[in-house]
A and B are shown apart, each in its own frame.
Chain A
Amino acid sequence: MEMAKANTIRLMSEKMDELLQHWIELHLTNLSLRKDMIGNENLYRQSKDFIEAFVQAADGADLEDINRVEWTSVRKILAEISTNRSRQGYSPSETASYVFTLKEALFRLLQKEYGLQPDILIQETLTISKILDKLGLYTFETYSKAREEVIYRQQQEMLELSTPVIRLWDGILALPLIGTLDSGRTQVVMENLLRGILSTNSDVAILDISGVPTVDTLVAQHIIKTVSAARLMGAECIISGIRPEIAQTIVQLGVDLSMVKTRATLAGALKLALDMRKLTIVQIGKA
């Protein structure tokens, strides 16, 4: 084992230029469609750093556990590559091919060197395969993690975009809800509404759910909680736009909305809100 390790590592640093050139060629073939997206110089520098870090790590530590501290700089370079590629929209296999093409390049190098000594060749190939496979998997994991972060950020942005709190009149707010309400989104929407009530000094808030396809028990409960919280703050809520099917669902679910002011339409809710504020709309002259 020790022998094998020393052989490969020695070969990697001795034939670094040859290995690098071969590796990058293989890798770029794999990325045929995206060559333009990476500067070759950049890739060359990065790959050189990687091999140097790899040689250094492999020299000082065992090849079994890439989580050890000796492998930190190798992991760091890989993490950087996968994260960047994940953000740039590379596919997972394109990203993982970075490590796997190195394997291919190394095998060729080993074959050239030990082609006539099958025992050594097999031993070397096995050892190097194991560690590079582990690093390949690591690349993949980092890639997925970066993707998840992108998705999470987009979800957050969607949340903010989809919850506008609108001032209808002095002291009257409206919150038109559109799209499916899940528990998480409802919570954000409700917090926005309560903050809006405070910042605009509004006594009445209209929650219009015309654009909501379904309401389940959890969402209905969130709505009721929001009405209660608004009351504690000193504001009243009106729920408008309850379509017949949703009204039926609410009753079937056994949710009690009797303590909540409701109206069929946003117009009806506005009228009620104006009444509550002791305001009225008067026609001037003939229409």
Chain B
Amino acid sequence: MERIPIIKMGPFLLVTIQVDMHDRLVMALQEDLTELVSATGARGVLIDISSLDMVDSYIGRMLGGIASITSLMNAYTVVVGMQPAVAITMVELGISLQGVMTALNVEKGMDLLRATLMISPDQDHGIDREE
């Protein structure tokens, strides 16, 4: 079965969504990410949606779901690269992605994760979140 590749970058996992996601792919991604966060002890997940041409309520729910699940496993999820037209449409549709962090691009997403985890780029491992 077709899968969206997940890349491990230090303490973070990076997913770049480049295809028109159908529902099964969305489900598979949610499962794969959950497993990988658990297996690697990743502290952050970056989902790059810069090539997505729309986010409907189904995909919105999936993004919110991933954020909730990863947070139960002590990791933060940042959605990065949303296009302006997609953002305008989502607001009109009534999806706010509450509880999901966002950033303009992968780099800024990493900065945000590091700031949130209060660790410097060199000390990426073994520091617990205090909140």
Contacts and interface: CB of A to CB of B under 8 A. Distances in A.
Interface of A: 190-191, 194-195, 197-198, 201-203, 225, 228-235
B104 A203 contact: yes
A233 B91 contact: no
Identify the interface centre among B84, B96, B103, B104: most chain A CB within 10 Å of its CB: B84
Interface of B: 79-80, 82-84, 86-88, 90-92, 96-97, 102-105, 108-109, 112
A235 B104 contact: yes
- Which A-B residue pairs are the 3 nearest by beta carbons? A194-B84, A234-B103, A229-B87
B65 to A, nearest CB: 17
Contact of B87 (A201, A202, A232): A232
Contacts of B83: 198, 233
A197 B91 contact: no
Contacts of A195: 84
Given A191-B84, A194-B84, A198-B84, A232 B90 contact: yes
B108 A234 contact: yes
A201 to B, nearest CB: 6
A195 B85 CA distance: 9
Contacts of A229: 84, 87-88, 90-91
Contacts of A203: 104, 108
Given A198-B83, A233-B102, A228 B108 contact: no
A248 to B, nearest CB: 26
Nearest to A227: B91
A228 B94 CA distance: 10
A234 B107 CA distance: 12
A190 B91 CA distance: 13
5 contacts: A191-B88, A225-B91, A234-B79, A234-B102, A234-B108
Contact of A230 (B86, B87, B97): B87
Nearest to A190: B88
B88 A198 contact: no
A232 B105 contact: no
B84 A233 contact: yes
B88 A231 contact: no
Contacts of A197: 84, 104
A261 to B, nearest CB: 16
Contacts of B109: 234
Contact of A232 (B97, B108, B112): B97
Contacts of A235: 104
Given A191-B84, A232-B97, A234-B80, A201 B91 contact: no
Contacts of A201: 104-105, 108
A65 B88 CA distance: 48
Nearest to A202: B104
A235 to B, nearest CB: 6
A235 B101 CA distance: 11
Contacts of A194: 84, 87-88
Nearest to A198: B84
Given A229-B91, A234-B80, A198 B104 contact: yes
A233 B102 CA distance: 6
A66 to B, nearest CB: 44
A57 B91 CA distance: 56
Contacts of B103: 234
Nearest to A224: B91
Contacts of A191: 84, 88
Contacts of B104: 197-198, 201-203, 233-235
B108 A233 contact: no
